[in-house]
């Protein structure tokens, strides 16, 4: 049976856990050869071993140019080409603006924004040679709107959305598609850092139209579509996978509220 990514070589960053891990597992099950990159070496190695023969793990710090160079060299030596890059590795950061520390900016922007730029830099020569490729940048619902206390994270994820659209123009003539994916809250070590049980999670997500947190596989499924040839005419797009969280806001309907045309 042929999978939706049969024979494609896919790099997934931040693949040691969370939605990167789910993406690596799903892509492999769809016939891809998967290269997992992460700074968490033992976790990443066990995920790749568990996936089996068409997967391998190699240490990658996405914020480091040299680390990308060595990573891509290994991918090419093992698989010979690169079809898909999922720029998933990321760090979250909460702080009121009065406590803003420029060192944090270097770290967060280095991983969340410069990381995907470096990834694109290093895979582009191989994708150009093949005149095809798909790059998916995992931004956030916070790359579509603002949120108090999340200024630095939000800035990093909006930047990634802008980077996506510029790259779509820069690389489209070489057959390379570049899209951004915008998860809402997702049940991962990042999205549920306090390990809240289901009932408390449901309460925390009551403002989301679908009334619940997302699961890593629901994000992986959207990446699968954008990575695959099914999305062959989609580039420069932003896909929200957020249960509707970024779509607007819920207005409480109060007793006596106007119904129909107001005078």
Should residue 61 be labelled a site residue for ligand NAD when binding is judged by CB under 6 A?
yes
Question: Which residues 15-34 are close enough to bind ligand NAD by CB under 6 A?
Answer: 16-20
- CA-to-CA separations, 185 to 22, 118, 219, in angstroms, rounded: 15, 26, 10
Q: State yes or no: is 153 an active-site residue.
A: yes
In terms of CB distance, is 3 or 246 closer to ligand NAD?
A: 246
Q: Which of 153, 233, 249, 250 is catalytic?
A: 153
Should residue 58 be labelled a site residue for ligand NAD when binding is judged by CB under 6 A?
no
Place of tokens 């940048």: 137
Place of tokens 């020569």: 125
Should residue 14 be labelled a site residue for ligand NAD when binding is judged by CB under 6 A?
yes
The piece of 4-12, 13-21, 229-237, 244-252 that touches ligand NAD (CB under 6 A) is 13-21
* Shortest Å distance, C-beta 233 to ligand NAD: 25
> How many whole angstroms separate alpha carbon 111 and alpha carbon 257?
47
Bridge partners, residue 129, by sequence = none
- Exposure string of 16-33, with b = 16+ CB inside 10 Å and e = fewer, is bbbbbbbbbbbbbebebb
> How many whole angstroms separate alpha carbon 36 and alpha carbon 21?
8
Question: Which residues 66-105 are close enough to bind ligand NAD by CB under 6 A?
Answer: 88-92
Which chain residues interact with ligand NAD by CB under 6 A?
13-14, 16-20, 38-40, 60-63, 88-92, 111, 138, 140, 183, 185-186, 188-191
């Amino acid at each position: 049976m042929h999978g939706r990514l049969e024979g494609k070589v896919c790099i997934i960053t931040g693949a040691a856990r969370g939605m990167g891990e789910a993406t690596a597992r799903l892509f492999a099950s769809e016939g891809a050869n998967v290269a997992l990159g992460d700074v968490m070496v033992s976790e990443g190695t066990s995920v790749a071993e568990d996936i089996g023969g068409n997967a391998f793990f190699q240490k990658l710090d996405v914020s480091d140019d040299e680390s990308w160079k060595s990573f891509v060299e290994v991918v090419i030596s093992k698989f010979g080409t690169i079809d898909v890059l999922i720029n998933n590795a990321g760090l979250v950061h909460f702080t009121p603006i009065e406590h803003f520390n420029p060192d944090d900016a270097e770290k967060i922007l280095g991983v969340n924004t410069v990381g995907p730029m470096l990834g694109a830099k290093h895979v582009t020569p191989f994708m150009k040679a093949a005149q095809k490729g798909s790059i998916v940048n995992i931004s956030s619902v916070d790359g579509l709107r603002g949120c108090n206390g999340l200024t630095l994270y939000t800035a990093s994820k909006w930047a990634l959305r802008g980077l996506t659209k510029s790259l779509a123009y820069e690389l489209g003539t070489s057959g390379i598609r570049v899209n951004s994916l915008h998860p809402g809250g997702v049940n991962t070590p990042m999205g549920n850092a306090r390990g809240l049980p289901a009932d408390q999670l449901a309460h925390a997500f009551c403002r989301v139209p679908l009334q619940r947190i997302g699961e890593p596989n629901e994000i992986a499924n959207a990446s699968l579509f954008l990575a695959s040839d099914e999305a062959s005419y989609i580039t420069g797009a932003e896909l929200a996978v957020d249960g509707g969280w970024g779509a607007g806001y819920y207005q409480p309907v109060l007793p006596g509220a106007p119904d129909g045309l107001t005078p």
